[in-house]
Amino acid sequence: MKNVKIENLSFAYPDEPEKLVLDHIDLNVEPGDFVCLLGQSGCGKSTFLRLIAGLERPTAGTIKIAGEEITGAGLDRSVVFQDYGLFPWMTAGDNIMLALKQKFPKEDKRKLKETALKMLTEVGLKEEVFQKLPKELSGGMKQRCAIARSFSIDPPYLLMDEPFGALDAVTRAKLQDMILELWAKREPKKTVFFVTHDVDEALLLASRICVFGQSPSKIIYECTIPEEMKPNRETLYEDAEIMKLRTQLIRYINQDVTEHIEP
């Protein structure tokens, strides 16, 4: 695993080239970082993630992994979307198997199924879910399947676009804990880019937080959370340093919003 280096990155959609969504972003992410991209809805976080995924091309600047410029999608980068991204006509197991067959085209099908079943149990689902269609699953179960699919191909880079945004509070908390556990127990750790507009979610998950301003978006603030300072659910609202950081993050976001709504 190598670092992800973003230099002088700008982006505008081809039909509106004069309207920048992202403007001159520089970021260097070390292997194993859990980076939360934090900001208000519509500020370009998801677009930034799509650029890293290779689903969009920069208008200017570069995104490089291990010194190689990203020119398209690749199996080294797996994406978990908010809407699960499961094909509705395929079973949960077949959705996972599809990704596995792409990554390991020469591997025996029975071995791939063993991997899929193992991954389902790792994300807290029963093996019987393998045979169920997405419409037979709850939102939380569908998102667990999407996460299982991403982890099953063992990509060094995991991109997550508000994956828990549509879930209820209890399910969301369970999946936050699950993704942290999956990330922490694998060596080497995956490099994670996680889009959220929730400050508390960013504090719980991230080893590094990048705050995006309003469009045309730049990174207006960033911070690193050392392992010894990282909060859990019990300390999130009790630790003085974390509370100070929480206030600072909210202040930067609110100040940026205020600047953009003033006449």
How many angstroms separate the CA atoms of 220 and 39, rounded? Answer: 10
pLDDT at site 262? 59
From 10, 12, 20, select the one nearest 61 (Cα to Cα).
10
How many angstroms separate the CA atoms of 24 and 161, rounded? Answer: 21
List Cβ neighbours of 147 (8 Å cut-off, separation of 6 or more): 80, 123, 163, 175, 178, 179, 182
Contact (Cβ atoms closer than 8 angstroms) between residue 211 and residue 38: yes
List Cβ neighbours of 191 (8 Å cut-off, separation of 6 or more): 1, 4, 29, 30, 31, 32, 33, 35, 156, 157, 158
Contact (Cβ atoms closer than 8 angstroms) between residue 11 and residue 59: yes
How many angstroms separate the CA atoms of 73 and 77, rounded? Answer: 7
- CA 230, 36, 10: angle at the middle one, nearest 5? 150
**Sign of the C-alpha dihedral computed for residues 101, 105, 108 and 112 taken in this order:** negative
How many angstroms separate the CA atoms of 13 and 18, rounded? Answer: 9
CA neighbours closer than 13 Å in the CB half-sphere of residue 218: 8
pLDDT at site 1? 56
SS3 38: strand
pLDDT at site 17? 82
Domains of the chain, earliest start first? 4-244 (3.40.50.300)
Torsional class of 23: left (φ above 0), alpha (ψ -120 to 50), beta (otherwise): beta
From 51, 30, 39, select the one nearest 188 (Cα to Cα).
30
CA neighbours closer than 13 Å in the CB half-sphere of residue 127: 5
User: Per residue of the chain (263 residues), what is the pLDDT tens digit?
Assistant: 589 999 999 999 888 888 899 999 999 999 999 999 999 888 889 999 999 999 999 999 999 998 899 989 988 999 998 877 889 999 999 999 999 999 999 889 999 999 999 999 999 999 999 999 999 999 889 999 999 999 999 899 999 999 888 788 998 999 999 999 989 888 888 999 999 999 999 999 999 999 999 878 899 999 999 988 999 988 998 999 999 999 999 999 988 877 766 55
The pTM for the full model equals: 0.92
